[in-house]
Amino acid sequence: MEVEKAQRLVAGRANGTALALNLGDEARLKKEIGAADIVVSLVPNTFHPLVAKHCLGERKNLVTTSYVNEAMRAFDDEVRNAGLVFLNEVGLDPGIDHMEAMRVIDGVKAEGGRVLGFTSWCGGLPAPEANTNPFGYKFSWSPRGVLLAGKSAAHYLKDGRDVLVPAEDLFEHITMVPIAGLGDFEGYPNRNSVPYAELYGIPDTQTMFRGTLRYSGWCETLKKIGEIGLLDTAERNLAGTTYIRFVRSLLGMPADWNLKKTLRDRLKLRPDSKVIDRLEWLGLFGEEPIPLGRGSALDVLESLMLKRLRYAANERDMIILRHEFLVANRTGRRAKLASTLIDYGVPGGDSSMARTVGYPAAVGARLLLEGRVGRKGILIPVYPEIYGPILDEIRRFGIVFKEEREDL
């Protein structure tokens, strides 16, 4: 974040101070962490272990909204031995998704029941009236994480069957997901869902699936963007190159070939496909020079998306989070349960993404400051003493799930 924006955010708040901090300056980082009561880190995921190292050294509790990676998990013994808590995955997805899942699962268990299947869908999208571009998507943050997620393989359980989806097939693995009042969305698997069977305390579940929601057309477009090579991260010389020349170079295509026709043929697009139209609207076929001296294909794509896929003033974003459970009660009778959150940003105010990521992290930090979390080590919010107070608090801000039940 730019320091000027941070200063505006804390303006008028006596306890708020904005300052610029370069994570490469570890002496300064250590000093600022040492002066804090608790650290909330919202830096990119790859930098969390650096922050964690200094939190451990300065004996400070830590909160992040990011997935626990191997580097963070490696701190567990030291953090527990130091009597500290590093609370991770306490945003939206990951975060609220874990908390609502555990609320329902623990409720089923408390009544002597079992969870036989779990499916979760989550998407951060433009609200319907703000869905005004051919991609059906807009960014209020860097597109890089969203785009790189499309290069990840997926792994989940479906009806007792182990399903592995190679990265190159991710966007072909689509399920249409109906959301009441909003229509059908494309859903595709989100990385590795299998470990959550143990983390959620339902190791015998026959289905464990976590997926991402998008408006229709996203999956085909991202699949073809990957086939063109636009997700490649290898750096190259871009000086003096235009967008259309760059795309031609990725494809090894002579200048006298019809780019759109050749692309349609190479990508084996259906006659009714809108992929070419979307890429043209984005600007990839334009003669404008690329404003980067050096960079990767992903950098080029990201710069265009930041320019074209942005929210206009007063436009709302939308969060959809839906959990579906197959459960059996103590007598073996089955039912389907569903819990759905639909949340909208505030025109001219906070986005829904900011609300649903920021509020849980803030409440989690307060729980640690008040000493209300008895567990130590590397944690995620799957424990009642963590998820209960957070879910209760965010309801005050209108972040509320609608529950449904269908007896089978």
Could you list the active site residues? 93
Residue listed under structure tokens 């043929």? 265
d(CA 65, CA 20): 21
| β-bridge pairing 377-379 and 85-87 | parallel
Sign of CA dihedral 89, 92, 95, 97: negative
Return left, alpha or beta for 397; rule: phi > 0 is left, psi -120 to 50 is alpha, else beta: alpha
315 contact partners, CB below 8 Å, separation of at least 6: 126, 127, 129, 130, 138, 345, 347
Decide if 42 contacts 141 (C-beta within 8 A): no
Contact between residue 353 and residue 319 where contact means Cβ atoms under 8 Å apart? yes
Residue 291 contacts residue 303 (beta carbons within 8 Å): yes
> What residues form DSSP beta bridges with 407?
335
Cα Rg for the chain, rounded, in angstroms?
23
